[in-house]
Each structure stands twice: as C-alpha cells, then as structure tokens.
C-alpha cells in the first residue's frame, strides 16, 4: 500500500481537537479518533496537534502496546526533504546550531 506523503506545513494544518495529526519519527498519525481514548489524556495530544512530537512520545517511555496501537492511526510519511532522518537536513541543522554559539549570540547583540 502506497503511503501518502505530507509536508510538515500540511500536517500543521491538522492542529485541532476535531482534526488532530502528529508527527512521530517522520511518520504521520491521525489521532482525531484516538485522542479521547488516550490513557495519557486528550489534552496533551491537543497540545501537540499538528506538531513534531517524537521527543515527547519517547520521553514518556510508551509501551509496546502503545506502539501497536499507533500503527492503526498511521496515515503517511513526511516528504523526504523534510525528514529528520534526512542526512542533508541533519548537516544543515548542525551548521545552524554551531553558528548560534554563545559568542555569535553576544556578537549579534552588539554589531
Ligand atoms: C500515536 C501516538 C500515541 C499513542 C498510540 C499513545 C498511547 C498511549 C498509551 C497506550 C498509554 C498508556 C501507557 C503505555 O502503554 O505506555 C499512554 C500514556 C501516556 N501518553 Fe501516550 N500515546 C501517543 C502519543 C503521545 C504523545 C505525543 C504524548 C505527549 C505529548 C503522550 C503522552 C502520554 C502520557 C503523559 C501518558 C501517561 C503516562 C503515565 O501515566 O505514566 N502520548 N499513551
């Protein structure tokens, strides 16, 4: 089955309780129906609606059960260019973070 590809901006439009998508590890989930049943509560999912939620998901240490449930709500994948696993993008982000060191932050305040 071909999976649908989404841009991050497209997922961001599904940011409401009645229309709730999340990104976890470059995969897109439609949790509109599941949110009410979520053992961690509906509110937390609404808070992350339309957003990248990988760290939040991993930090909780979700069980294998949770990982099985999420497969049911999978609706697609992030387009290759915007994936976190995209090596080119990782390099660009490294560059970005190294150029915003404490020194360049201070420098930019003065010059
Ligand atoms: C597809 C996405 C998700 C599924 C299927 C899911 C499913 C579950 C399940 C089954 C549990 C019960 C505990 C367990 O089995 O691990 C749980 C707990 C929880 N989840 Fe999620 N979850 C999802 C996404 C998220 C996200 C994105 C967050 C945070 C922003 C979150 C926050 C929590 C919290 C706070 C708990 C309660 C943990 C506790 O009581 O100790 N969940 N979730």
Query: Residue 18 carries which DSSP code?
Result: T
Q: What is the mean pLDDT of residues 3-29?
A: 97
Under CATH, what is the fold of the domain 4-78?
Answer: Flavocytochrome B2; Chain A, domain 1 (3.10.120)
- β-bridge mates for residue 15, sequence order: 20
Nearest CA to ligand 1 atom 33: 40
Which atom number of ligand 1 is nearest to the Cα of residue 61? 16
Nearest CA to ligand 1 atom 5: 70
For the cut 60, the answer to whether the pLDDT of residue 1 exceeds it is no
Interval 32-46: pLDDT, tens: 999 999 999 999 999
- Cβ of 72 below 6 Å from ligand 1: no
Which atom number of ligand 1 is nearest to the Cα of residue 31? 1
Enumerate the domain spans of the chain: 4-78
| Cβ–Cβ under 8 Å, residues 11 and 23 | yes
């Amino acid at each position: 089955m071909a999976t649908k590809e989404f841009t991050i901006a497209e997922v961001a439009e599904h940011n409401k309780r009645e229309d709730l998508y999340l990104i976890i590890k470059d995969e897109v989930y439609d949790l509109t129906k599941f949110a009410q049943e979520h053992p961690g509560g509906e509110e937390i999912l609404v808070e992350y609606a339309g957003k990248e939620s990988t760290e939040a998901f991993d930090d909780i240490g979700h069980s294998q059960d949770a990982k099985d449930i999420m497969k049911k709500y999978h609706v697609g994948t992030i387009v290759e260019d915007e994936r976190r696993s995209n090596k080119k993008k990782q390099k660009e982000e490294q560059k970005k973070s190294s150029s915003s060191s404490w020194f360049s932050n201070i420098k930019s305040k003065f010059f």
